[in-house]
């Protein structure tokens, strides 16, 4: 069995190295996924904020149009 020990030790060392590299890759990928999730969340929030602003502007425009139509000239003046 002594003859096989150096080969086993070498293979074990390679295996440990590969497992370490996989662990490092997993850490890097997890960090990237976390960053992408954060960017996605920020973009979604920005889109929601923009839509809220759009809704407010649309409501303001609608109010102006309603007041104009309800005015004395009935909205006939362009």
SS3 assignment, position 2: coil
Instruction: Decide if pLDDT at 2 tops 80.
Output: no
> pLDDT digit string (tens) for 17-65?
999 999 999 999 999 999 999 999 999 998 888 887 788 889 999 999 9
pLDDT at 3 over 90: no
């Amino acid at each position: 069995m002594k003859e096989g020990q150096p080969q086993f030790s070498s293979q074990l060392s390679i295996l440990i190295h590969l497992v370490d590299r996989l662990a490092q890759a997993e850490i890097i990928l997890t960090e990237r996924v976390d960053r992408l999730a954060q960017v996605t969340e920020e973009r979604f929030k920005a889109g929601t904020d923009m839509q809220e602003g759009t809704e407010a502007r649309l409501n303001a425009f609608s109010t102006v149009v309603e007041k104009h139509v309800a005015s004395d000239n009935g909205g006939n003046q362009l």
